[in-house]
Amino acid sequence: MYFLSYLIRTIFNIFSWLIIIRTIISWLAPDIYNHNWRNLLRLLYKLTEPILKPIREYLPTVAWGLDFSPLIALLLLNILRSFILRLLYYLAIDLGI
């Protein structure tokens, strides 16, 4: 049960960091003509867009083009992680593990 909770925490932490890195890179405006940057951005977008796109559909962009979807995504990931870990904890208690 400990391994499963560790795995869940790790997966959620990785996705949280990917969203943070994507947000920071979007502020820096990297050189998209550089092959390495382009591949890194493509991978980053493929991994994070399934999380951010549904939030963007419901959350309008505010003044100056600010996108709050990464902030909302991090908040929702944190809530979901806490819920899953708490559920796992109570399941372990019920099973006597």
Q: Can you tell me the distance from the alpha carbon of 31 to that of 37, in angstroms, rounded to the nearest whole number?
A: 7
In whole angstroms, give the CA distance from residue 67 to residue 60.
8
pLDDT, position 51 = 94
Query: pTM here?
Result: 0.85
Domain boundaries, the chain: 2-95
| pLDDT score recorded for residue 11 | 96
Q: Tens digits of per-residue pLDDT, 42-81?
A: 999 999 999 999 998 888 777 677 888 999 999 999 999 9
What is the rounded distance in angstroms from the CA atom of residue 54 to the CA atom of residue 48? 11
| Cα distances (Å, whole numbers) of residue 3 to 12, 35, 47, 62, 87 | 14, 38, 24, 41, 15
- pLDDT higher for 81 or 97? 81
Per-residue CA distances from 18 to 33, 86, 87 (Å) = 22, 24, 25
**pLDDT tens profile 13-45:** 999 999 999 999 888 877 778 888 889 889 999
CB 12, CB 81: distance < 8 Å: yes
Rounded Cα–Cα distance for residues 89 and 71 (Å): 27
Which residue is it, tokens 């708490």? 86
